[in-house]
Amino acid sequence: MNIETMLQIVAEQNHTTVEEVQKEMEKAIIDAKDTPNFKKTFDNKMPTLEEFIEKGIELVKENMDS
């Protein structure tokens, strides 16, 4: 499943638009950027929304295998 499809599903489930989902997720990234785990995960760099989602998926998969 690609990121655009995932955003569409989230938007539909929350009765909003893809743009609003993206906006809210970008706000969450900004809010989290100063936390130790975020800095460690993203090497102190600001990820794009796509990079953030991809890394989140990767981390979930890793934890499911543990």
pLDDT higher than threshold 90 for residue 11: yes
User: Tokens standing for 50?
Assistant: 């796509």
pTM: 0.78
Give the closest residue to 32 by CA, choosing from 22, 46, 20, 43.
46
Q: Please write the tens of the pLDDT for every residue from 15-66.
A: 999 999 999 999 999 999 999 999 999 998 999 999 999 999 899 999 998 6
pLDDT value of residue 32 = 94
pLDDT value of residue 31 = 95
Sign of dihedral through CA atoms 25, 30, 32, 38? positive
